[in-house]
Structure 1
Amino acid sequence: MSILDWFKNLFAKEAKHYVFTPISSDIETIEFKEGQHYFRLRLAEMFLKNDRKLFRSYVPVVSSSVQLQFGSNAAQELPYIAGPLTLALDEASLGKGVQLNYSLTNLVPYHGGNVAISAALLAYVTKDYFQEFLSMSNSIATLLTIGQLSTTLKVVDSAVSGMQDLFDAGDKEIHLVFHNEYSGTDSLGGVSLQNGYFAVIAADAAKFETEKLFVKDSQLQFGEDSQSAKPLTGYDYMLFLIEAALYRDDFRYFDDYNSLMDTAIEKGMTNKTEGDAILKTVMLAVFKSDDLTYVDKTRVATALKKEYEERISFQSKLGSKVSKNTQWLNDRVVALDPEVVSRQISPVLADENLNAAAIADKILAMVMNAEIE
């Protein structure tokens, strides 16, 4: 049984007519565009109304699973476990402090199709082995929230298996369950995936005044207006944020391009034509990456070309030394304004007659002709 099936069964057993509502904030609403935006789910805040009492003998946990298209997999499952014991706190420290903004997924390129989000706010009975087990499962799942997702997906089966064992282990109290699937557009009878905050609250949906909910500093507030609103208490709840990003800024994790670049430069020093051919092969590999949107693929390809040309130029001069900056890719990509790059390639992406290979060819031609700087 998959994690998603586990959540569906739990939802069927425990579901009540609780509150599910989007919450307005100062976040700009962005329409997700296939291949152009990243999706990321965050647990902004979780709250148990009886937290101090529960923490004496229970461990609070939010277990989540996101299923979406990644690469050639139309239903890639990304599990995560969030809770205070992932910080290795002892029981006396639980319930103290502020814990916000757990990343439940990596930045994942949005490719349309079906996106399913499931989450449960649970309290597990504390056992001698439980903290170590939770920490182990969390460590595995955390690998899926940083760096290149494609290189860490080989451990996802272990993560799912470990979390399934966690779900089934020991006694637990189920406080809140959520499941929703997004596909298509609202205007055509679908459920649009939109960025922004939404809350799931263990309150009577018919009586709760959702119009009095606000988000301030990643925390759920309740009041007559945003200025006078205070933190919501008296209810169990989960506050989520769906993030839509145009670009990423963690290219230090993409160091596998370094060795390929070294090969291109080595060839280019003796035969510029061969070096150029290897460079183009590397850039084509970038456009096949499952981890990047078209904007970032273009930025990475442009950065590779600039680095290649600069190193060839320096090394062709007798006695010249090239900087040993190991963060060159990250530095060069971050220096390229994603908004500008997006505008430059938008006519290509808007052409519905082009498939992925044709889009890559056209954008790479722009890069090679220095039309993108």
Structure 2
Amino acid sequence: MWQTIKAAFLADAGHATVAFVPDEGAEVLRPDRGYVRVWLVEGYLAKARTWGNDHFPALHGGAALNFAGRDLQVFAKFTRAPAAITGPGVQLNFQLTPLLPYEGGVVEVEAALFRTTTAGPLAAAADLVGALTPLLGPPLSTAAAVVERIGTGLDAVVKQAGERPVLTVHQSFVAAGDTGGGPQVRSGYLVVANTAPGTLGPLSFPDGLLYVSGQRPTGVDFLVLRLECRAEPDHWGLARFEKLVNDAGAAHLRRQQETFEALRTEAVTAAWNCPDFVRPDRKRLARLIAEEIDAIKELGAVARPARPLDEAAARALPSRRDPDIASLRLNDLL
């Protein structure tokens, strides 16, 4: 599906305006120093009112980037577009990808809108795949496998339906220092409008919505995506490690030392190797989890406090600037 949309965009690129407007003062994201996420901020279909009640927009969009040793792994959604996309002036803030670790290299961002009949195969696919959205978040290795299988099936559905997207965009963002392949990876707005290149005036986002020459655009189909770059996750999502930590604590309290050591090793190693985080953060999380488990020894016969690991991370996660983190090795924790 990713390559199908990319091909459709390249075929129509001469008939659309595409522009990236970085945030003022936005720094280029460097490899292994942060995360990216893609949002659909706003969209407008100027001729949607002519579609009738038996049509609606279906949306495909997301990002492809280097992940867990694989080049340009795709993370994308295909679902019914937010209903508000058929009217102007609504800030959608519709998340297209989870927060993804940036390992370096190119980040590709794309989106496509289809004019879909309510009884057609794309509508059924949008409803089915949309229901799988909970599977498209962390752990990201599972999400990547799900997206890959979905994409293969969607390709067949799109080809069978013979439907072409109403509007597409595909933009490559390059690593810091690469000046030949497009804009660099940084926070900003990606705009595609169904108008000839060079026909739109200056673009701005004073209130988070698109303005052209200081005015809200009318009479033209457009999409506004946002590439969000951030140094740390807004939510660590450590619930997946809770059971290992708690089971290790329970083993220690039952004086099952071999089981305790095995569970401790499993938990620390899982955090150290977790591909959902950039390398420095894996070290930080592994040390935090080791400390949380080892605190049980200090408490003696008292169970570990019933606080989520995310709360512990907010309180006690070591800084990336901690010199001990830079030199930390897995064997140091085991």
Per the normalisation by structure 1, the TM-score is 0.75
Post-superposition offset of 1:186: 5.8
Aligned to 1:246, which of 216, 231, 234? 231
Q: Which runs of 5+ in 2 are unaligned?
A: none
Aligned to 1:214, which of 200, 204, 227? 204
Question: Who is 2:78 aligned against?
Answer: 81
> 1:43, 1:238 within 8 Å by CA — same for their partners in 2?
yes
* Structure 1 residue 59 corresponds to structure 2 residue 56: yes
* Structure 1 residue 361 corresponds to structure 2 residue 322: no
SS at match of 2:223: strand
Please report the RMSD computed on the Cα atoms of aligned residues, expressed in angstroms: 3.4
> 1:113, 1:183 within 8 Å by CA — same for their partners in 2?
yes
Post-superposition offset of 1:80: 1.4
> 2:117, 2:123 within 8 Å by CA — same for their partners in 1?
no
SS at match of 1:261: helix
* Structure 1 residue 286 corresponds to structure 2 residue 271: yes
> 1:247, 1:295 within 8 Å by CA — same for their partners in 2?
no
* Structure 1 residue 237 corresponds to structure 2 residue 217: no
SS at match of 1:231: coil
Aligned to 2:98, which of 100, 106, 110? 106
Task: Tell me the alpha carbon deviations over residues 113-133 of structure 1, each in whole angstroms, 9 at most, x when there is no partner.
Answer: 232223223212332665443
Task: Tell me the alpha carbon deviations over residues 136-188 of structure 1, each in whole angstroms, 9 at most, x when there is no partner.
Answer: 122225522x2321233332333213422443353646332222233345655
Q: Percent identity?
A: 20
Worse overlay, 280-289 or 36-45: 280-289
Question: Who is 1:353 aligned against?
Answer: none
* Structure 1 residue 138 corresponds to structure 2 residue 130: yes
Question: Who is 1:31 aligned against?
Answer: 28
> 1:198, 1:239 within 8 Å by CA — same for their partners in 2?
yes
* Structure 1 residue 342 corresponds to structure 2 residue 320: yes
- Residues 114-263 of structure 1 mapped to structure 2, 5 A cutoff: 114-127=106-119, 131-144=123-136, 146-170=137-161, 172=163, 174-185=165-176, 188-191=179-182, 192-209=184-201, 211=202, 213-224=203-214, 230-252=215-237, 254-263=238-247
Distance of aligned partners of 1:55 and 1:343 in 2 relative to their CA distance in 1, 3 Å threshold: farther
> 1:134, 1:166 within 8 Å by CA — same for their partners in 2?
no
Which whole-Å CA distance do the structure 2 matches of 1:273 and 1:134 have between them?
Answer: 49
> 1:249, 1:330 within 8 Å by CA — same for their partners in 2?
no
Task: Tell me the alpha carbon deviations over residues 277-317 of structure 1, each in whole angstroms, 9 at most, x when there is no partner.
Answer: 75355323312110112343244224323322333333x24
Task: Tell me the alpha carbon deviations over residues 19-45 of structure 1, each in whole angstroms, 9 at most, x when there is no partner.
Answer: 21122545x512212122111111111
**Matched residue count:** 332
Question: Who is 1:227 aligned against?
Answer: none
> 1:195, 1:243 within 8 Å by CA — same for their partners in 2?
yes
Which whole-Å CA distance do the structure 2 matches of 1:184 and 1:4 have between them?
Answer: 21
SS at match of 2:312: helix
Which whole-Å CA distance do the structure 1 matches of 2:298 and 2:122 have between them?
Answer: 58
SS at match of 2:239: coil
Q: Which runs of 5+ in 1 are unaligned?
A: 225-229, 349-358, 369-373
SS at match of 1:143: helix
> 2:121, 2:157 within 8 Å by CA — same for their partners in 1?
no
Distance of aligned partners of 1:289 and 1:96 in 2 relative to their CA distance in 1, 3 Å threshold: same
- Residues 314-329 of structure 1 mapped to structure 2, 5 A cutoff: 314=299, 316-317=300-301, 320-323=302-305, 325=306, 328-329=308-309
Which whole-Å CA distance do the structure 1 matches of 2:40 and 2:248 have between them?
Answer: 43
Distance of aligned partners of 1:265 and 1:346 in 2 relative to their CA distance in 1, 3 Å threshold: closer
Task: Tell me the alpha carbon deviations over residues 91-131 of structure 1, each in whole angstroms, 9 at most, x when there is no partner.
Answer: xx965994612221111111112322232232123326654
Post-superposition offset of 1:239: 0.6
Which whole-Å CA distance do the structure 1 matches of 2:188 and 2:86 have between them?
Answer: 29
